[in-house]
Amino acid sequence: MQDARSEDDLQRLQDLASGAPVVRAVDEIFDAAVMLSATDIHIESQEDGLAIRLRVDGLLRPYGFLPAAQSRPVISRVKILAGLDIAERRLPQDGRTRIRVGGADVDLRVATVAGLHGETAVVRLLSRDAKFLDLAALGMAEDDLAAVNVQIQEPHGLVIVAGPTGSGKTTTLASILSVLNTPDRKIITVEDPVEYQIPGLVQTQVKPAIGYTFATAIRSFLRHDPNVLMVGEMRDRETADIAIQAALTGHLLLTTLHTNSAAEAVVRLADLGIDSFLLRSTLRCVVGQRLVRQLCARCRRPTEECSASASALADAGRFQPRPEDSYFVAVGCSWCGGTGYRGRIGLFEVIRLDEGLRTLIRSDVDASKLAQEASTRGMRTMLQDGMEKYRCGITTVEEVLRATI
């Protein structure tokens, strides 16, 4: 009897989730997210209904609120799209799908978790538009871009992209892979999870529950005759050891590290126990990065003088205003949702490991000394890169300071 009631409830929920009102509501949410270039949709069950928030340019903003009667049907609709079990409401679930919104294909990665008042879903949106994987469009200065392009064309060695969570490291790696993705190269990746699906690559996803980790993946990859390996993240000594060995034995290896600067990535590898002589032999370059919001091109307003924050940096000797600088301030319009910002761009610093810098890589390597030496050899720091973008009216000094200091 209880099973029959449960089946009836499940069938009723499926009917509601497939009904026109719920389908239309979910489609409208996806349409709004794509129109605003949101990266995530947060669908959160609350006591009195369903709160919808969109992460736009790195910040969450409220989108709407649905009545409690629509909470389970809307969540179920999202789960059905991602191929998840709508009958399971206690355990977390993950899935993915592809939809077409506004004439463009969009990959969705859906994660659900049980909350106090019902399930919550977070939908990550990943556009399949090739322009999002254009290395030249990420915001690197011309000399940094040229240096990275030279290093990634080398037949072997280690290239690291460093930064905190949400700094765009995965997009940078995917863009590099798109450059390297030619018919004469075998490229294999192990990621957690696979965010960008790139035709021509062999892409795999870690599954710790069955013992498929970054380390075991790299071991198996070496038997598949690859030219390029991409490891989503170096998290432990075992992964780092195997990755370094792969870089030593004729493979180009790309990976990420969670550090605050490019120089700190070298220290992090030393902390993981990698011998300094191995680092000197394999490490080619480290790209440090952050993301800042770009000024809305439709409503930004020019101003003749730099901001008070920029003046303070100038007083501290960290910024030098020039007569040809173009300063702009955020205003706000319907296109940018009243924020004054639309889209994001990267701030970068690139350490190119020449012989002089390699001599500083020791077991007691000091990040500040390495960064200082790299600066004397031409490295542009993320702060300097950000202030150059401020000079050009791309962003504001407040955004640069928020991301770098």
Taking all residues of the chain, what is their mean pLDDT, rounded to a whole number? 90
Question: How confident is residue 1, by pLDDT bands cut at 50, 70 and 90?
Answer: very low
Above 90 in pLDDT, residue 44?
Answer: yes
CA-CA distance, 221 to 219, in Å (whole number)?
6
Task: Please tell me the predicted confidence (pLDDT) of residue 2.
Answer: 46
Above 60 in pLDDT, residue 181?
Answer: yes
Give the percent of the chain with pLDDT over 90. 69
Q: Provide the 3-class DSSP secondary structure of residue 84.
A: coil
Above 50 in pLDDT, residue 62?
Answer: yes
- The pLDDT of 105-125, averaged and rounded, is 93
Question: How confident is residue 127, by pLDDT bands cut at 50, 70 and 90?
Answer: confident
Q: Count CB neighbours of 1 within 10 A.
A: 5
State phi, psi for 179 to the nearest 5 degrees: -65, -40
CB contact set of 8 (below 8 Å; sequence gap of 6+):
none
User: Which burial class, exposed, middle or buried, applies to 208 when counting CB atoms under 10 A from its CB (0-12, 13-18, 19+)?
Assistant: exposed
CA-CA distance, 192 to 234, in Å (whole number)?
11
Lowest mean pLDDT among 48-57, 87-96, 175-184, 316-325: 316-325
Closest among 164, 187, 161, 182 to 172, alpha carbons compared: 161
- The pLDDT of 90-111, averaged and rounded, is 89
Question: How confident is residue 320, by pLDDT bands cut at 50, 70 and 90?
Answer: confident
Distance from the first to the final alpha carbon of the chain: 63
Closest among 140, 389, 167 to 265, alpha carbons compared: 167
Question: How confident is residue 129, by pLDDT bands cut at 50, 70 and 90?
Answer: low
State phi, psi for 318 to the nearest 5 degrees: -110, 5
Tell me the C-alpha to C-alpha distance, in Å, between residue 177 and each of 134, 166, 283: 10, 19, 18
**Higher local confidence (pLDDT), 3 or 105:** 105
The DSSP code sequence of 234-294 is --SHHHHHHHHHHHHTT-EEEEEE--SSHHHHHHHHHHTT--HHHHHHHEEEEEEEEEEEE
Above 90 in pLDDT, residue 157?
Answer: yes
SS3 readout for 104-118? EEEEEEEEEEEECCE
Task: Please tell me the predicted confidence (pLDDT) of residue 228.
Answer: 97
- The pLDDT of 40-52, averaged and rounded, is 95
- The pLDDT of 343-369, averaged and rounded, is 90
Decide: 230 and 191 in contact? Cβ < 8 Å: yes
pTM above 0.75, yes or no: yes
CA-CA distance, 345 to 168, in Å (whole number)?
9
- The pLDDT of 242-247, averaged and rounded, is 93
State phi, psi for 109 to the nearest 5 degrees: -115, 120
Q: Provide the 3-class DSSP secondary structure of residue 182.
A: coil
Q: What would the pLDDT profile of 210-233 be if each residue is shown by its tens digit?
A: 999 999 999 999 999 999 999 999
Task: Please tell me the predicted confidence (pLDDT) of residue 17.
Answer: 74
Task: Please tell me the predicted confidence (pLDDT) of residue 101.
Answer: 85
Strands 202-205 vs 187-191: parallel, antiparallel or unpaired: parallel
Beta bridge partners of 350: 287
Tell me the C-alpha to C-alpha distance, in Å, between residue 234 and each of 43, 255, 259, 272, 276: 31, 7, 11, 9, 17
Above 60 in pLDDT, residue 381?
Answer: yes
Tell me the C-alpha to C-alpha distance, in Å, between residue 215 and each of 129, 230, 260, 307: 31, 12, 24, 49
**Higher local confidence (pLDDT), 304 or 180:** 180
φ/ψ bin of 307: left (φ > 0), alpha (ψ from -120 to 50), beta (otherwise) = beta
Block residue for tokens 């032999």:
281
- The pLDDT of 357-372, averaged and rounded, is 87
**Residue type present at position 207:** K
